[in-house]
């Protein structure tokens, strides 16, 4: 089985406060995207970053020789960026084309190896698989600062990445859905097509950098020993 990963880094990070897109922000002395690439590399034979080629070349310099490919430009939405990555994988010579593809948020630096392994294993039986964590808190709907209602959390989980799929299936679903490219994850395209997607155990530490306060939580996970000297 050939496994490729698409590493997404083409977003602008509008919910994050800095001009530098969040996936290039320094976390414990390395770019967030570099942590994400290091976490995925042991699991794949090919890693394709999507985003600005010069910034990615610098952030990933010296990593994964022969495995990390030159970046391809992304699109206006996450879904557009995934399609750009899938099309680039489809242009590879037949001998290099993947059987399975993992799609991972470049802003999610610390995916544990066990999570990635569970996703890949689930693809032996399912078309797609995603890591998730349970929702522990009581859920409320906010209407202008007042509670509108309590929403049942029964059966609700929070979706993470890497999400894994059989490559030809994900490519064809993305091509068919390219007109309305509003999906915030890839599993949504399989759901709409009536395909089964396995839920596997994710990890609370598999945090996506979304707001600036998330950087503090992520740095705490690294621990003081690995923090850069100032």
Q: With binding defined as CB under 6 A, does residue 138 bind ligand CTP?
A: no
Beta-ladder partners of 104: 7
Beta-ladder partners of 49: 7
CB under 6 A: which stretch of 38-46, 105-113, 129-137, 151-159 binds ligand CTP? 105-113
Determine the longest span between alpha carbons in the chain, in angstroms: 58
**162 upstream amide cis, omega within 30 of 0:** yes
Nearer to ligand CTP, 41 or 121 (CB): 41
Q: With binding defined as CB under 6 A, does residue 64 bind ligand CTP?
A: no
Which residues of 19-173 form beta strands (DSSP E)?
Answer: 26-27, 30-31, 46-51, 100-105, 128-134, 139-143, 146-151, 157-159, 163-166
Q: With binding defined as CB under 6 A, does residue 9 bind ligand CTP?
A: yes
Of 12, 138, 142, 152, which one interacts with ligand CTP (CB under 6 A)? 12
CB under 6 A: which stretch of 54-62, 72-80, 109-117, 144-152 binds ligand CTP? 72-80
Of 8, 56, 71, 86, which one interacts with ligand CTP (CB under 6 A)? 8
Beta-ladder partners of 26: 31
Chain residue at closest Cβ approach to ligand CTP: 11
**If DSSP codes are grouped into helix, strand and coil, which group holds residue 34?**
helix
Residues that contact ligand CTP, how many (by CB under 6 A):
22
Q: With binding defined as CB under 6 A, does residue 217 bind ligand CTP?
A: no
Residue 161 CB, nearest approach to ligand CTP (Å): 8
100-105 and 3-9: which strand pairing? parallel
Q: With binding defined as CB under 6 A, does residue 39 bind ligand CTP?
A: no
């Amino acid at each position: 089985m050939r496994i490729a990963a698409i590493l997404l880094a083409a977003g602008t990070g509008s919910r994050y406060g800095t001009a530098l897109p969040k996936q290039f922000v320094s976390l414990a002395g390395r770019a967030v995207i570099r942590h994400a690439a290091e976490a995925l590399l042991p699991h794949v034979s090919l890693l394709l970053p999507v985003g600005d080629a010069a910034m990615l070349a610098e952030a990933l310099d010296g990593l994964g020789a022969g495995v990390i490919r030159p970046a391809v430009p992304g699109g206006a939405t996450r879904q557009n960026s995934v399609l750009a990555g899938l099309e680039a994988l489809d242009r590879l010579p037949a001998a290099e084309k993947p059987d399975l593809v993992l799609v991972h948020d470049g802003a999610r630096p610390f995916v544990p190896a066990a999570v990635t392994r569970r996703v890949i294993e689930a693809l032996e039986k399912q078309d797609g698989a995603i890591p998730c964590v349970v929702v522990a808190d009581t859920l409320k709907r906010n209407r202008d600062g007042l509670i509108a209602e309590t929403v049942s959390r029964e059966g609700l989980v929070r979706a993470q990445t890497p999400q894994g799929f059989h490559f030809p299936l994900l490519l064809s679903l993305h091509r068919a859905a390219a007109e309305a490219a509003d999906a915030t994850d890839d599993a949504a395209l399989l759901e709409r097509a009536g395909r089964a997607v396995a839920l596997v155990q994710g990890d609370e530490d598999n945090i996506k950098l979304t707001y600036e306060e998330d950087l503090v939580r992520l740095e705490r996970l690294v621990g003081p020993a690995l923090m850069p000297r100032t």
